[in-house]
Amino acid sequence: MSTFPASQMIVGGVFLMCAATTVAGALLAALTARIIRSVCGLAISCIGLAGLYYFLHSPFLALMEILIYVGAVCVTIIFAVMLAEPDEPVRDDKLGSTLLWGSFAFVVCAAVFWGLWQLGTHQDWTVPVARVSDGSIQAIGKSLLTTYSLAFELISLALLVAIIGALALARTGRDKV
Amino acid sequence: MTPVPLPERPDLYFIVAALLLVIGIFGLLRRRTLIGMLISGELIFSAASLNLMTFNYFKAPDPTVGQIFVLFIMGLAAAEIAIALSIIIAVYRNYRSVKTKELSELSG
């Protein structure tokens, strides 16, 4: 289909870059000692994830991922980082128990990853015979306002309750400080 | 037979999603502050979203359903972050700390 054969390689390279960005940002988010770097890792991971969403033919969700996660969630976490002092404390345990629990966590995670790897690569999932819709933004908008309108309204209600709850929770105890 | 191009292979997306989930679980077990655990929880949310989107694109008969579901996940994650961070701020005001080891009043 492509007259220019290198374009396939370029697209594959961009895809691999998005996947590597996602994983590297996640590693940064989970492993660094300073919490502000961890927030930056989460932002990098979300940008890579938005690229993967774009490759999955949903540019709307890629935009929403950047808008909500990088624009709202990471900024909110940075505000909390500035209000509290959340850096990782210095380890005061004995070295033996730290190594024991660390290796235990690593073994658990490796086992989960191995199982999911096997499931993802060796399972034959059934492929649908025909597509009902094309998954475009128009189709999403129609579904949101017809089939999923109740869930849509409930989400807005949940967000309203979350805002009021966050205000009420952060308000108490303010005059004690 | 020409090889399948990389973005059209579902197993690569599955592997990235599995890596995100595993890194999130490892961070959740390793972190010793509340905000660090919250960030690891967000990574687990991302893993679930990527998995849903992969199935939505490659295997679902209606490709709008997964996108709407992931949109709802994002909305609920934003609400969860707002509530959790205000709880963390309230905890910090009372205890002067967000380290999980020092928040042990209920452990007797």
Contact B93 A16 (CB under 8 A): no
A45 touches chain B (CB under 8 A): yes
Amino acid at A4: F
From chain B residues 48-87, the ones with a CB under 8 A of any chain A CB are 49-50, 53-65, 67-68, 70-72, 74-83, 85-87
Determine how many CB atoms are found less than 10 A away from the CB of residue A67.
12
The mean pLDDT value for A125-129 works out to 78
More confident residue, A130 or B52: B52
Nearest CA of chain B to the CA of A152: how many Å?
8
How far apart are alpha carbons A38 and B15 in whole angstroms? 22
Summarised one tens digit per residue, pLDDT across range A43-100 is 999 999 999 999 999 999 999 999 999 999 999 999 888 888 767 666 666 777 878 8
More confident residue, A136 or A23: A23
Of residues B16, B32, B46, nearest to A89 (C-beta): B32
Alpha-carbon torsion, ordered A140, A143, A149, A150, to 10 deg: -110
**Nearest Cα residue to A54 out of A42, A66, A68:** A66
Chain A residues within an 8 Å CB radius of B4 = none
Of residues A12, A130, A139, nearest to B64 (C-beta): A139
Summarised one tens digit per residue, pLDDT across range A99-120 is 888 888 889 899 999 998 888 8
Chain A residues within an 8 Å CB radius of B58 = 125, 127
How far apart are alpha carbons A10 and A175 in whole angstroms? 58
A72 touches chain B (CB under 8 A): yes
pTM of the shown model: 0.89
Nearest CA of chain B to the CA of A155: how many Å?
7
Location of structure tokens 């679902």: B60
DSSP state of A57: T
How far apart are alpha carbons B92 and A90 in whole angstroms? 19
Q: Give me the phi and psi of B99, to 5 degrees please.
A: -80, 135
**Nearest Cα residue to A28 out of B21, B4, B23:** B23
